[in-house]
Amino acid sequence: MASIELSMVIPVRDEIDAVDSLVTRVVAALSHLDVESFEVIFVDDGSRDGTADRLEWLILEEPRCRVIRLPRNLGKGDALAAGFEASSGQWIAMIDADLQESPEELPRLLEVARSGADLVTAWRHQRTDRWSRRLSSWLYNRVVRWVGGPPLHDGNCGFKVLSRDLALSLPLAGGRFRFMHLVASHWGYRVEEVAVSHRPRQTGSSHFGFSRAFSAAIDLVTVMVYLRGQDRPGRSLLRWGILTGLPGIGILAFIAYLRLADGTIHYRYPLLVLGALLTLAGLQLVLFGCLAEWFSGKSTAALSRRSVSTPLRERERLP
């Protein structure tokens, strides 16, 4: 079986009015693309309006397309992760199902990727969304650049092309998919952007907006802790646990000395409480740090096993 050059992963949720145009335009755009072979993976993220059934009917005679159904609404990050894992392409492209970006412009992104970029994201330089979405996107991009992200105009656009190695390594669960360009840049991958056209949503309604700013801020803090910890977030917790616990142990030792030497601690009960609190806080931080180190090690081992086992799974599919 010849290897697939490009996989297009499209997360879909409650877009039944858009899927007819989606399938037609995406397949047509990829058919005219300069690639040896391609596949399209639609990941249904728990749709309740019959989107998955409609998709499966539309692709009955298109062997290059398939549908993955998630058991319930898990979020765009988990949908992308499922699609990336199921893909076989050397390059992995992604686009939103609302088609506010044109799949016909994919050749421009792929050209930049082939020139040496590991992640190419589209830049909606003339957005047609309402002002609240443009404002939230502007704030998002400013904050990501401020914390050390690459100097992109529109890192949150859902139209991207990634190398396979990078796509399978990125943290995507929850809302962390929003910061894939930040993580890629921190890891030393080359990140570029390409200006594309943008048009108003024709059907359905957006699942994102300014109201998700709080959850996005939490996801950004999580990603930054992960990156600043050199992929070992438990080290920071261990450091703070030791710095907090040692003064507490010192205070308790001093109180114990007074009790043994004088038979009483006199008026130092507030100091006793402070020492106990610092000691308990330090022990909890050390415990969480050890757990974080353990889970981090498990994730790294799983990633290593996945990168090693992928060629084996591909060989097992050979007739």
Position 1: which residue type? M
274 and 125 in a common domain:
no
Domain membership of residue 41 as a residue range: 6-228
Helix axes 51-58, 19-31, angle to 10 degrees: 40
> How confident is the model over 129-188, as pLDDT tens digits?
677 777 777 888 788 888 888 888 888 888 999 999 999 988 888 778 888 888 888 888
In a domain? residue 1: no
3-state DSSP of 105-159: HHHHHHHHHHCCCCEEEEEECCCCCCHHHHHHHHHHHHHHHHCCCCCCCCCCCCC
Number of domains making up the chain: 2
CB 172 within 8 A of CB 180: yes
CB 11 within 8 A of CB 97: yes
Domain endpoint, select from 213, 228, 243: 228
Tokens of 70: 């998630």
Q: What is the pLDDT of residue 67?
A: 92
290 and 174 in a common domain:
no
221 and 243 in a common domain:
no
* Beta pairing class for 38-44 and 65-69: parallel
For the chain, what's the residue count? 319
> How confident is the model over 51-100, as pLDDT tens digits?
889 998 988 888 899 999 998 888 888 899 999 999 998 999 999 888 88
